[in-house]
Structure 1
Amino acid sequence: MRPNGSLSALVAGAQSISTRRLILFLGGILVLSTTLLLFTSVNLSTESLRTVSLEIPDSIKGKLHVPTVFKPATHTPPPPAKNSTASTEGWFASWSWMNPFSSGQGDRIALPPIERCSIYTYYEPPEDKVQAVVEDKMLLAWRRVWWAYGFKPMILGPAEAKTSGFYEMVNRAPYVPAMKKELMRLLAWNYVDAGILVNYRVLPMGPHDDDTISSLRRCKFVYMNRYKNFDQKLYSSDKVSLNKVLMYVTENPPAADQNVTSVEEVIANLPKPEEWMREGSYPAALADYTPEVVADKYKDLEPAQLPGLVNAHLHSTFLSHYPDGMLLLSPFPDKFGALHHPALELANRIASCPVNNPLPESCPPNLRKCTPCKKPAAISSPDHLEETTKSFTLGTIPHPFTTIELANDDVSLMNDPEKTLLRYIRRKSVRDPWIKEVTKSPYMKSGLGSPPRASKIKELVVPKLGSKFLSIWSTDKEGFKDTEWTLGFVPPTLKELKLQLPGAQGNQKKKLYNAKMANVRGKNKIIGFVEGWNTGDTEVWKFVNAWRERRVLERSKWTAAEKKYGQGLDKEER
């Protein structure tokens, strides 16, 4: 069959092209396609464009929507469940951390996996510089207390909101100012993949085992949730549900004359609002210090006094959770005074009433009635642990080398010959004396070996999700670090309290210092033998060391990441 029409012409033209010309033609197309592909796939990242200078006239700066690459630093959506501080040369994350002697990898210690749910707030600095200082202090209080409760707080702003895919639709729609401000919060939250969004003047001020706090910490959200009688101050949601709500609101913007000021009003008018947004129970453990509440409850408060009042309320509320006061764990009190002295100082700071409370008779806004702090909480020094939830415990765990050095006057691990020391340890020393002393009856049954006792200490060091916060632990190596970020408030200093505590005995201080130096430098060959002889004491000492080190490292990495945003930072973070 002969081709006809245009097809015939095409065939005739193709037959007139020589093989050599056809190869050159196809080769040219291939080179051109490759060149275009390479140039259009270059990754123009924000980092590569930081040196670009763009001058925008002041007359149009407020009206111009600046491209993404020139925006301020923004938070990025959280990566998959993974944390770089979960494994180092000193520790690794494992669900078997509770098992006795679960390390199994040389000197690396098994620690529980890190589980912190991200919690976000939205902030736009006010124009008033004095007010901006107050708000920055409130942001610091917000970050510190939510971190102490087990969350990972992050501050969002307009930069994140403008990066959301919904921003252009919100920017063009005729929303009233209050509604647009509310949507900007939700857009910023949407950009970082949802989770929890809370007003930065809302702080946890209840027990750690409160139902709402425990539910939020689980970080598992299926629907978008608001909370009863809490307006727009707290939301939780998964990404899909938040997208669904934002898509409807942006595609169906209410008219300006309707004066709709919140997303909740829009959703409430739908046929089945519960399919869009659900309502959780009133969060009684959250304290609301938003301007309206402060103006109503604390009429005599100066604006600059608010951060001090919040810190005082956090401190007094903490003390109210432990009516029996503080327990300073003090085994072998006659010998270990120098070891326990840092814990004694911290106990007195925590047990004191807040010293800079502008309204000493006031209660937190989430409590109708409270008993203002009039005198310091009681401090007792038991030689063993007590089964109670009415007291808060401070414990310092010594290295077994330190235990032997402090507890014995007739032998010195620092100075005596190695043969003498080995003979003494084998024949006269008790295995795991510290752990046996602090867990002795009635706390644990007599006759139990070291493994269950070590596991019990680990359980106290790392409380389970949904359990009460009952203790802080440290070692003779680490000391008590980051206490404000562990407690959630700043306790007064001994100088502020005008308190002079008696010092430790000079001989004990010298022995303690020598033991620390020997352990840190690893000079004394006897240390390995002492650790092998006292496996239970060594296990809990290494565990608490690793636990404390990881907490400090985890916060320092988080601080380094947040520092570039420049909001709510303390002096050490700046």
Structure 2
Amino acid sequence: MVPHRSGTLLAIIIFVGLLLFIFSSPPSTDPATGEPVSGPAKYVPRPQLPSWGGIHFPFQPSAHVRPKEQKNSTSGESKWYSDWTWLYPFSSSITLDENRSVLPPLADRPVVYTYYEPNKGNGENEDADARMLLAWRRAWYAKGFRPVILSHAEAMDNQLYEAVQRIKQDPTKKFSPELESDFFRWLAWGQMGTGLLADWRCFPMAKYDDELLSYLRRGAVPTHITRFDHLGNGLFAGESNEINEAIKEAIRQVDEHSNSMLELIPAEHFKTEKSTSLAFYSPSMITNQYPMLAEKIVSSPSEGKRALVDMVNSHLHNTFQNSFPAGIAVLKPFPEKTTALIEPSLRLAKALVRCAESADLSTCPPNIPACHVCSPSNPVRISQPAQYKNTTHVFTIGTLPHPYTLLSLQQNSEEVTTRHIRRETARDPWLTEVTKELLGDEMGGFSRSSVLKNAVAGEMAIGNSVWLTVESLPSKAGESLPPDSLDELEWQLGFKIPRDDQTDAKKEEEARKSVTDPNPSKAGIEREYELLDKAREVMKTKDVNRIGIKDVAEAWNLADTEVWRFVRAYRARSIVERKKWEEEEKYFAGPKLAV
């Protein structure tokens, strides 16, 4: 017979065992190694004990918890964390990681849809259409939208598609191909829901911060479908319910005289806005304003469409140039030492002030009939100020060096020592020099870093500047930005940037001579290129001694390092964002460009 005490003890043991079994689960991985558990240990339950992380003990110092790593937040050596605290002077106080920069949260991109039906069996026309669709996507993306190309497939998914098909088969109704295409366009839009519906020949032809474009980025009016004066069916904005209600009204109103959806949808469904920010290259507009181009489209459709793409790109480029009456500023602090450092940026500026490739440079966009046309003999002004100017009248190109890179240029030697850094150099020289005119001489690096971050990524900075890191640029004399970098900048600016292969040898030689400052000697310029090359090697090396001096340079120039990492991460994130969008849309981007 089991004694009473032994029975009680046995009952307690059984009870505790049951609790452990109920509140535990077999581990799938070893917490020490992270490897999958195998063997008998796989079936041994482990209790899931409560976490004590949120409990503060009075005799223990408080410690912040590192934020969890976000998805798609790394690219190469760049790491970032998107948060509203991005204007804090130092990101490490938020991320607890010196190499992870805090960036502003990505702005929501309202969707702008277009509807495209391919020209089957006509490869040349499809290639011309592909070029136009690429220009359309690039222009809208640069203005903060998410372009999406719809097709007949989306129209078929709309519940109202069958009703349209029944009307089409009704012998008493006249259903022209144009009306059918218009119906399918609206059906596809109604199926996708809230957003903008643009003709793929309708382009945003204004600055990023234009009043209408800002209004469109805020979203559609829920009670009406917004249309725009003088644009016809070029652009609409609406929400799903209103769109499908308008389609139902159009279905009820179809008769033998119907030609377009605008004729069928009652006026009370629309709210009309005025616009001078959108350019719609409709066939009628081309005939009226660009008769030579219209004749070319009639005589050779594929060649005419390619010429139209070139003209649209020319207008987008010209609008960019007209948007900055004070020209382009390439920041050049410490001009006696940074000629080679800013050369790629200066060459970018020269490409931006060049006239775009077009058969007729004398034309203006349809929404800006009195534009200032591009003239090779009177180009946009390029300046090289040492200080950043907070104005929207000038487009700024900033080139940030790593602290070690700037130190080696200022010392004119790659042999930078800790003693030299601590005893003979000031802290954060680049940031102090660039913001001197804006903030004066007394303010410290903490406040300056927040101001420059706002100049790089603030809402008012978008579309008014480009910021690059020196180490991501070519270091050879006469080299332009790599094609991949130019491609990325085109998506930021919204138009195709003229490339160096479009210039002749004589002009190219003149361009190479013009990028160098006349003050430094030729030997001095060559020495700068050598130092830039060696600084890039230091950035990539795994040599402990080299890494040590780089860390010393960063520790001595905390604010300079902070903004350098911020710009590097900001550029990297924009590339990741665009590539992710392109990956999602790669099967829906219309016809492919001919190689």
Match of residue 438 from structure 1: 434
CA distance in 2, matches of 1:551, 1:145: 16
Match of residue 526 from structure 2: 506
What is the CA-CA distance between 1:448 and the residue it aligns to?
0.7
What is the CA-CA distance between 1:217 and the residue it aligns to?
1.5
Helix, strand or coil at the partner of 2:180: helix
Distance 1:410 1:478, change over 3 A: closer
What is the CA-CA distance between 1:368 and the residue it aligns to?
2.1
Match of residue 266 from structure 1: 265
Alignment of structure 1 residues 156-195 onto 2, 5 Å: 156-174=150-168, 176-177=175-176, 178-195=178-195
Q: Percent identity?
A: 33
Match of residue 94 from structure 1: 83
Match of residue 63 from structure 1: none
Q: Any conservation in 1 of the 2:103–2:570 contact (CA below 8 Å)? A: yes
Q: Which amino acid is 1:90 matched to?
A: K
Q: 1:277 aligns with which of 270, 278, 281?
A: 270
CA deviations 1:97-145 (Å, max 9, x no partner) are 1221134220221111112222111011134443332222111110111
Alignment size in residue pairs: 471
Q: CA RMSD in A?
A: 2.3
Distance 1:255 1:152, change over 3 A: closer
CA distance in 2, matches of 1:84, 1:242: 34
CA distance in 2, matches of 1:569, 1:90: 33
CA deviations 1:315-369 (Å, max 9, x no partner) are 1111111122211101112211221111011011111222x22112111111121
Q: Which amino acid is 2:565 matched to?
A: K
Match of residue 447 from structure 1: 442
Helix, strand or coil at the partner of 1:338: coil
Distance 1:493 1:258, change over 3 A: closer
Structure 1: 5+ residue runs without aligned partners?
1-82, 414-420
Residues 1:131 and 2:91 aligned together: no
What is the CA-CA distance between 1:214 and the residue it aligns to?
0.6
Residues 1:518 and 2:538 aligned together: yes
CA distance in 2, matches of 1:262, 1:243: 12
Match of residue 308 from structure 2: 306
Distance 1:368 1:457, change over 3 A: same
Helix, strand or coil at the partner of 2:256: helix
CA distance in 2, matches of 1:172, 1:160: 18
Residues 1:117 and 2:110 aligned together: yes
Structure 2: 5+ residue runs without aligned partners?
1-69, 297-303, 474-480, 517-524
CA distance in 2, matches of 1:436, 1:335: 16
Residues 1:493 and 2:499 aligned together: yes
Distance 1:510 1:257, change over 3 A: same
Distance 1:568 1:319, change over 3 A: farther
Q: Which amino acid is 1:388 matched to?
A: T
What is the CA-CA distance between 1:191 and the residue it aligns to?
2.1
Helix, strand or coil at the partner of 1:90: strand
CA deviations 1:516-543 (Å, max 9, x no partner) are 1211235322222221211110111011
Distance 1:255 1:436, change over 3 A: closer
Distance 1:159 1:334, change over 3 A: same
CA distance in 2, matches of 1:512, 1:266: 64
Alignment of structure 1 residues 328-367 onto 2, 5 Å: 328-354=330-356, 356-367=357-368
Alignment of structure 1 residues 3-18 onto 2, 5 Å: none
Distance 1:86 1:112, change over 3 A: farther
Helix, strand or coil at the partner of 1:196: strand
Helix, strand or coil at the partner of 2:279: strand
Q: Which amino acid is 2:312 matched to?
A: V
Match of residue 142 from structure 1: 136
Q: Any conservation in 2 of the 1:338–1:509 contact (CA below 8 Å)? A: yes
Distance 1:264 1:211, change over 3 A: farther
Helix, strand or coil at the partner of 2:398: strand
CA distance in 1, matches of 2:592, 2:217: 23
Q: Any conservation in 2 of the 1:124–1:157 contact (CA below 8 Å)? A: yes
Helix, strand or coil at the partner of 2:550: helix
Match of residue 294 from structure 1: 286
Q: Which amino acid is 1:254 matched to?
A: Q
- Range with bigger deviation, 490-499 or 145-154: 490-499
CA distance in 2, matches of 1:118, 1:437: 41
Q: 2:557 aligns with which of 527, 534, 537?
A: 534
CA distance in 1, matches of 2:105, 2:237: 23
CA deviations 1:381-421 (Å, max 9, x no partner) are 111112332221111001111111111136723xxxxxxx2
Q: Any conservation in 2 of the 1:119–1:154 contact (CA below 8 Å)? A: yes
CA distance in 2, matches of 1:568, 1:473: 33
CA deviations 1:420-477 (Å, max 9, x no partner) are x222222211100000011112x22220111221112111212416x77321110013
CA distance in 2, matches of 1:221, 1:535: 47
CA distance in 2, matches of 1:514, 1:569: 42
Q: Any conservation in 1 of the 2:148–2:589 contact (CA below 8 Å)? A: no
Match of residue 323 from structure 1: 325
Match of residue 394 from structure 1: 397
- Range with bigger deviation, 218-227 or 293-302: 218-227
What is the CA-CA distance between 1:84 and the residue it aligns to?
5.0
Helix, strand or coil at the partner of 1:437: helix
Match of residue 202 from structure 2: 202
CA distance in 1, matches of 2:430, 2:560: 6
What is the CA-CA distance between 1:278 and the residue it aligns to?
2.1
Q: Any conservation in 1 of the 2:402–2:561 contact (CA below 8 Å)? A: yes
Match of residue 239 from structure 2: 238
CA distance in 2, matches of 1:87, 1:409: 34
Q: Which amino acid is 2:81 matched to?
A: F
CA deviations 1:250-298 (Å, max 9, x no partner) are 4xx2242242521553322xxxx1xx3322x222111111222112111
Match of residue 587 from structure 2: 564
Q: Any conservation in 2 of the 1:316–1:373 contact (CA below 8 Å)? A: yes
Match of residue 428 from structure 1: 424
